[in-house]
């Protein structure tokens, strides 16, 4: 099993499918400070990992799923039976107090909302409309297999710099931040409730530079933009990775786009 359980804007299924060669063959601990759907983690299946993100709903879902996959599965089966537009918007507006119910709600919304997008307003309220997908429950045993894969991972809600600053020689750090560019003039910003600013990008570049000096293996995927290239100038190997954009609502409007990868190791 190598498929992530979440759909996620900016997710990296396409990288593991088409650019597997860019990952190191040998490493110790795997560290991912911008977790999202965790596509690279599930693909590499590391024995040891630190998985981190600043999104509290996301981290709660991972933690609850690691510990309570069967309970979450049963809730999603129940949601499947009741799924309608009315049910979706009612549950979108609720906030369960129980962490297992919070995780099940998070997965339900992710499964059936528009394009699997995570977006909240300034009050922290999820506000993505209902999409066209109707499958809510996962196949029997699937979430349990995800739980087993997460069992040995440390799952943290943390700022990226705190996590990266604790890495060292032999760690493989995969860095996939929100794609902010200088002057914040990229469209991806509209999908973030707390904007990842250009100052954050510079702070990130500093933290991965320090980790690289400590001997960590670093792979960064980012926007293919001159400001990003300038920010990481001199940081190892640079490679343009091409993919099809998946955020357009009309599939005929989806065009080939390019992202950029920086790594400090040979493949």
Q: Is the pLDDT confidence value at 251 over 80?
A: no
Q: Is residue 3 part of a domain?
A: no
Average pLDDT, the chain: 91
212 and 252 inside one domain: yes
105 and 38 inside one domain: no
Helices 56-67, 142-150: inter-axial angle, 10-degree rounding: 100
188 and 245 inside one domain: yes
Q: Would you state the structure tokens that stand for residue 208, as one six-digit string?
A: 């991965």
79 and 208 inside one domain: no
23 and 136 inside one domain: no
Q: Between residues 213 and 9, which one has the greater pLDDT?
A: 213
Q: Which of 91, 126, 146 is the last residue of a domain?
A: 146
Tokens 């499964």 belong to: 111
Q: Is residue 151 part of a domain?
A: no
Count of residues in the chain: 267
46 and 176 inside one domain: yes
Q: Which of 146, 173, 197 is the last residue of a domain?
A: 146
pLDDT band at 181 (very low <50, low <70, confident <90, very high): confident
The CATH number of residue 247's host domain is 3.40.50.150
Question: If residue 175 lies in a helix (H) or strand (E), which one and from where to where?
Answer: strand 172-175
246 and 226 inside one domain: yes
Q: Note whether 260 and 240 are within 8 A (CB).
A: yes
The CATH number of residue 78's host domain is 1.10.1020.10
pLDDT band at 188 (very low <50, low <70, confident <90, very high): very low
pLDDT band at 186 (very low <50, low <70, confident <90, very high): very low
106 and 89 inside one domain: yes
Q: Is residue 6 part of a domain?
A: no
- Report the alpha-carbon distance of residue 218 to residue 203 in Å, rounded: 15
120 and 164 inside one domain: no
pLDDT band at 257 (very low <50, low <70, confident <90, very high): confident
Q: Is residue 45 part of a domain?
A: yes
The 10s digit of each residue's pLDDT in 123-161 is: 889 999 999 999 999 999 999 999 999 999 999 999 999
* DSSP conformation class of 139: P
Q: Is residue 22 part of a domain?
A: yes
Q: Is residue 253 part of a domain?
A: yes
Among candidate residues 141, 139, 173, 161, the one with its CA nearest the CA of residue 41: 173
Q: Where are the alpha helices (DSSP H) in 50-98?
A: 56-67, 69-82, 85-92
Mean pLDDT of 228-241: 95
124 and 172 inside one domain: no
* Domains identified in the chain, total number: 2
Query: What is the residue range of 119's domain?
Result: 62-146
């Amino acid at each position: 099993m190598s498929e992530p359980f979440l759909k996620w804007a900016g997710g990296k299924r396409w990288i593991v499918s088409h650019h597997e060669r860019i990952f190191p063959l040998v490493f110790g601990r795997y560290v991912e400070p911008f977790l999202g759907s965790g596509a690279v983690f599930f693909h590499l299946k590391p024995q040891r990992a630190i998985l981190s993100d600043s999104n509290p709903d996301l981290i709660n879902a991972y933690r609850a799923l690691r510990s309570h996959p069967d309970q979450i599965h049963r809730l999603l089966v129940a949601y499947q039976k009741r799924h309608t537009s009315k049910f979706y918007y009612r549950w979108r507006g609720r906030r369960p107090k129980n962490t297992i119910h919070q995780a099940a709600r998070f997965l339900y919304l992710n499964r059936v909302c528009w394009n699997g997008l995570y977006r909240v307003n300034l009050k922290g309220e999820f506000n993505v409309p209902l999409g066209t997908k109707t499958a809510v429950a996962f196949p029997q045993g699937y979430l349990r297999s995800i739980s087993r894969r997460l069992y040995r991972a440390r799952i943290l809600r943390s700022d990226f710099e705190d996590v990266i600053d604790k890495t060292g020689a032999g760690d493989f750090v995969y860095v996939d931040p929100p794609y902010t560019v200088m002057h914040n003039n990229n469209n991806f910003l509209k999908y973030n409730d707390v904007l990842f600013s250009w100052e954050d990008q510079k702070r990130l570049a500093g933290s991965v530079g320090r980790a690289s000096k400590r001997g960590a293996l670093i792979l960064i995927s980012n926007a293919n933009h001159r400001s990003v290239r300038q920010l990481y100038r001199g940081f190892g190997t640079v490679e343009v990775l091409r993919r099809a954009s998946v955020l357009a609502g009309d599939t005929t409007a989806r065009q080939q786009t390019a992202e950029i990868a920086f790594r400090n190791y040979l493949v």
